[in-house]
Amino acid sequence: MAPKIDYGIVIQNVVASINLFTTIDLVTAYQTLIDDDDLFVSYNPETFPGLILKIKKPKISSLVFSSGKLVLTGAKSTQMVHEGVQQMIKILRTVGTKITEEPEIIVQNIVASGHFNHRTINLELAALWLEHSMYEPEQFPGLIYRLAEPKTVLLLFQSGNLVCTGAKTEEQVRQAVENTYNTLDEINAFDF
């Protein structure tokens, strides 16, 4: 059995869409929450139809729309998304929003960083062998690698560092990184 490799995966951001199945009075929410020192609230319907609401614990931001839909960003895990949604519900209830149904939470994107066990990558060689990859070092120093399964995009750097985006679960991040490592190892793209 091959030794377990530490990819140093760190979730940097989780973006989720939420449906509260109710309407929200954004004017009332803004007027009520603007004086709360624990929140950052911004609402300018002439420039953007949603209310921007940032909370400190967990440290997340949300776009809140009158339709009862939210876009939540800044979470460092899917668990933090659920905690953030509960906090948002609590805050919105204080301004008179009636929330009776269980919210629908859909993770749209997970962005993570990591490394390939601190092994450097021959990006020119990798670009020759990896299907669905693009490497133009004069435009961007990393190789862009699009995986079909799981459907993700990895940015690979010569240092062995990486960024993974497009995953819907934390397991998909791990799987994408592991699959890419194994593929790079098979084509001898790691420098020693």
Tokens of 107: 């993770």
pTM over 0.85: yes
- Other Cβ atoms closer than 10 A to 153: 15
Q: Do domains 16-107 and 116-186 have the same CATH topology?
A: yes
* Domain regions of the chain by residue span: 16-107, 116-186
Which homologous superfamily does the CATH classification assign to the domain defined by 16-107?
Answer: TATA-Binding Protein (3.30.310.10)
Show the DSSP H helices in 10-77 as ranges: 26-33
Q: Which residue has the tokens 């084509």?
A: 187
Give the pLDDT confidence score for residue 46 in this predicted structure: 97
Q: Which CATH number fits domain 116-186: 3.20.20.70, 3.50.50.60, 3.30.310.10, 3.30.230.10?
A: 3.30.310.10
Tens digit of each residue's pLDDT (9 = 90 or more) over 28-41: 999 999 999 999 99
Fill in the amino acid letter for 187. Answer: I
d(CA 90, CA 19): 15
- CB-count exposure of residue 35 (10 Å: 0-12, 13-18, 19+): exposed
| Phi, psi angles (nearest 5°) of residue 31 | -65, -35
Looking at residue 118, its pLDDT comes to 81
Residues in the chain predicted with pLDDT less than 70, given as ranges, are: 1-4, 192
